[in-house]
Amino acid sequence: MAGSPRRIRCGRTHALRNVVVVVAYALLAAGCSSPSYLEAAMQAQEGGDLKTAIRLAKKEVARFSEPDQCSRVSTVNCGTLALAYATLASCQILDGDRTAGEESLIGAKGALALTNPEIKASATAMVYRDVSEAYWKLGDRARAVAVFKEGSVAGADSWLYMSSAAQDASQQPAVQQPTGQQPALQPPKGQPPIGQPPTGRPPAKPR
C-alpha cells in the first residue's frame, strides 16, 4: 500500500534537509578529515535515539567551538557550528529539556553572528527551522511560531518557510484596533505622522 501524502512529504523533507546540511557541511569543513558528528547526530535523531543524538551534537559543538574553527579570529566554520547547535537544541527540546534547548539556540545565534554573509541566510533558516519544528512536534505551537517569526526577521532564506509553523503564522489574525477607533494611517516614508506638524528636522538616519 502506498504511503500517505503526509508521510511521503515528511520523508522528502527529511531527505532534503540532510542533503542541504551535508552540502553545507562539505563547503564549510572542506579539507577536514575527521568524521562528522553532525550527520551521525541527525541520523540518531531521526531514528528516535535522542540521547545519542545529543551526545554526538555536543561533540560537534565542542569541535567547532575551538578558536581556529569559529571565533572573531577565524570564522571559517561558524556556519557549521550554528547547525550543530541547532541540532543539539532541537534534540534537547524533544527530550524534554527546554532550558538546555534555549541555551543551545543562544549558542547558535552567536555562531550565526560570525557566519560568512554568503551562507548566513541559509544557515539562519536551518537553525530556526530545526528549533521551530522541535517545538511544533512537542505541541507548543505558540513557541514554534515565535521561533519561526524570529528567524524570518533574522534574515532566513526560503528554507525556513518549509517549517510547520509557517502556515500557522500566516493564518494568525492581524491585531485588532480598539472598538470605536480607526486604524492609523501610515504617512509616506520620511514624513511626520499624520496629524502632526513637521519638526523642521530630517528623520534620523538608521545606524
Q: pLDDT tens, 121-148?
A: 999 999 999 999 999 999 999 999 999 9
Structural domain contains residue 204: no
**Nearest of 169, 174, 173, 123 to residue 146 by alpha carbon:** 169
Give the model's pLDDT for residue 170: 66
The answer to whether residue 190 scores a pLDDT higher than 80 is no
Structural domain contains residue 108: yes
Distance between CA atoms of residues 98 and 104, nearest Å = 10
Structure confidence at residue 82 as a pLDDT band (50, 70, 90): very high
Q: Regarding predicted confidence, which is higher, 46 or 99?
A: 99
Structural domain contains residue 13: yes
Structural domain contains residue 144: yes
The answer to whether residue 15 scores a pLDDT higher than 60 is no
Long-range contact set of residues 10-16: C-beta below 8 Å, sequence gap at least 24: 13/162, 14/46
Q: How many domains does the chain have?
A: 1
Structural domain contains residue 176: no
pTM over cut 0.85:
no
Expressed as residue numbers, the domain containing 118 is: 7-170
Structural domain contains residue 195: no
Structural domain contains residue 186: no
Of the listed ranges 9-13, 90-94, 110-114, 167-171, the least confidently predicted one is 9-13
Structural domain contains residue 93: yes
